[in-house]
A and B are shown apart, each in its own frame.
Chain A
Amino acid sequence: MLRSLHIDGATPLHRLSVRIKLAGLFLASLAIFLTGSPLLLGGAAVLSALVLASVGMSFSEAGSRLFWPFVSIAIVAVATGVFEAPLQGLVVLLRFATLILLAAAVTASTEVGDFMEEITVLMLPFERLGLVNAADIGLALGLVLRFVPEIATRYESLRDAHAARGLPVRPLKMLAPLIILTLKDADMIAMAIDARGLRRQ
């Protein structure tokens, strides 16, 4: 049901470590605000498109992934062009296009597991301060992935139960039972986790 956005491959970007890719993305996001020249930014956008093309994603797949981000950039750029100056709108368009293309390349070339490992490492300083338990993040993520299909099935049976009784399916009618039925399991799940000692505290 939840399939990762990672694309299999062994391109140079795939082999790069997650940390370098994330640091690169972060630096790029700072760098594009250093210049307001449409020419430089246009070059950066073309470069990012080439980086994305290098991870071996099909053109239609890239198009469907980036369709909505590009719609939102287009709206923002047009609004900036109308309210401020047309050139400013172009600058905004190129800046965000650069960033979105690079970000999509990082997402497509990195596996969820590698990402999670990097996040655990990033959380270590906070863990030493006692602010967060890095292992809890992984546990919570696992719980979400485990329960999404179950909640979706529960939604379908609620909908069918309404339909079988000739009741209209309204968002309000569905929400409360869906939420109550789901959260009622929390105590049992928490007991099961503690009984197995999955959280060492």
Chain B
Amino acid sequence: MSTRDLVLTALFTAIVIVLGIIPPITLGFIPVPITAQSMGVMLAGCIIGAKRGALAYLLLILMVAVGLPVLSGGRGGLAILAGPTAGYIAGWVVGTFVTGLIAERMVRESQSGGRQIAGFLLASVVGGIGVVYLMGTIWLSINTGMGFFAALTGNAVFLPGDALKAGIAALAARAVLVGYPLLPQRT
């Protein structure tokens, strides 16, 4: 791992933490404030790619584990990792990796803007929503004895907000790709 990769990873972890500290931005047409932090999975995968993105989230979880209040609302500590939502937190790492893998394969700098946004949107939806919900739900249903599909339906509450985040993340990732491309490209 080059020093530059290490620095990019650490800087992205810092960005994700700041997204949790700043006051939630209320979207005009939706009365619920949107916490920008869970968007970080999609942003990290689409902007710095699979490996560095997943490492950025591992670093974040390490900071949670050693007792730094780095999650939104000043949450942190081992209690967060021991709770029923631990599967979602593990899902962030895998989700970022999957988002990055798809983005690295789908998006080219030579493509038109529309195709790039579509590629980022697909990567964000599959990695940032699909993988995260899947891992969170499996963990939840193992630990509670609840049926998998009953637990899966519980995610429906978060789906509209997360779909909106995927859209915002795709547009932001495209803007970063134009301004300062960092995403590795695979064939």
Name A residues whose Cβ lies closer than 8 Å to a Cβ of B: 1-6, 25, 29, 65-66, 68-69, 72-73, 76-77, 79-80, 83-84, 88, 92, 95-96, 99-104, 106-108, 110, 112, 115-116, 119, 133, 136-137, 139-141, 143-144, 147-148, 151-152, 155, 169-172, 174-176, 178-180, 182-187, 189-190, 193-194, 199
Are A136 and B77 in contact, with the CB atoms below 8 A?
Answer: no
Q: Which of B4, B21, B78, B172 contacts A172 (CB 8 A)?
A: B172
Contacts of B43 in A (CB 8 A): 175, 179
Contacts of A182 in B (CB 8 A): 11, 14-15
Closest A residue to B149 by beta carbon equals A83
Contacts of A143 in B (CB 8 A): 6-7, 10-11, 14
Are A6 and B67 in contact, with the CB atoms below 8 A?
Answer: yes
Name B residues whose Cβ lies closer than 8 Å to a Cβ of A: 1-4, 6-15, 17-18, 21-22, 25, 27, 34, 36, 43, 47-48, 59, 62-63, 65-70, 73, 75-85, 140, 143-147, 150-151, 154, 168, 171-172, 175-176, 179-180, 182
Per the bound structure, the CA–CA distance linking A102 and B7 in Å amounts to 34
Contacts of B151 in A (CB 8 A): 79
Contacts of A119 in B (CB 8 A): 62, 66
Per the bound structure, the CA–CA distance linking A141 and B17 in Å amounts to 12
Interface contacts (Cβ under 8 Å), in number, total: 199
Task: List 14 additional contacts besides A96-B143, A104-B77, A171-B36; criterion CB under 8 Å.
Answer: A2-B69, A83-B147, A84-B145, A92-B145, A100-B79, A106-B78, A112-B68, A140-B10, A143-B10, A152-B22, A179-B47, A180-B176, A180-B179, A189-B11
Are A147 and B11 in contact, with the CB atoms below 8 A?
Answer: yes
With A65-B77, A76-B144 known to touch, is A148 a contact of B82 (CB < 8 Å)? no
Per the bound structure, the CA–CA distance linking A15 and B10 in Å amounts to 32
Are A104 and B79 in contact, with the CB atoms below 8 A?
Answer: yes
Contacts of A101 in B (CB 8 A): 79
* Shortest beta-carbon distance from A58 to chain B in Å: 16
Contacts of A1 in B (CB 8 A): 21
With A180-B180, A183-B8 known to touch, is A147 a contact of B145 (CB < 8 Å)? no
Contacts of A116 in B (CB 8 A): 66
Q: Which of A80, A106, A175, A176 contacts B144 (CB 8 A)?
A: A80
Interface of A is mostly: helix
Contacts of A193 in B (CB 8 A): 3, 6-7
Per the bound structure, the CA–CA distance linking A65 and B154 in Å amounts to 25
Per the bound structure, the CA–CA distance linking A184 and B15 in Å amounts to 13
* Shortest beta-carbon distance from B138 to chain A in Å: 14
Are B84 and A169 in contact, with the CB atoms below 8 A?
Answer: no
Contacts of B150 in A (CB 8 A): 79, 83
Contacts of B9 in A (CB 8 A): 140
Contacts of B179 in A (CB 8 A): 176, 180
Contacts of A29 in B (CB 8 A): 82
Per the bound structure, the CA–CA distance linking A106 and B112 in Å amounts to 52
Q: Which of B1, B15, B70, B154 contacts A2 (CB 8 A)?
A: B70
Are B10 and A147 in contact, with the CB atoms below 8 A?
Answer: yes
Closest A residue to B84 by beta carbon equals A76
Q: Which of A76, A170, A183 contacts B25 (CB 8 A)?
A: A170
Q: Which of B3, B59, B69 contacts A144 (CB 8 A)?
A: B59
Most chain A CB atoms below 10 A, which of B63, B70, B78: B78
Closest B residue to A147 by beta carbon equals B14
Are A76 and B140 in contact, with the CB atoms below 8 A?
Answer: yes
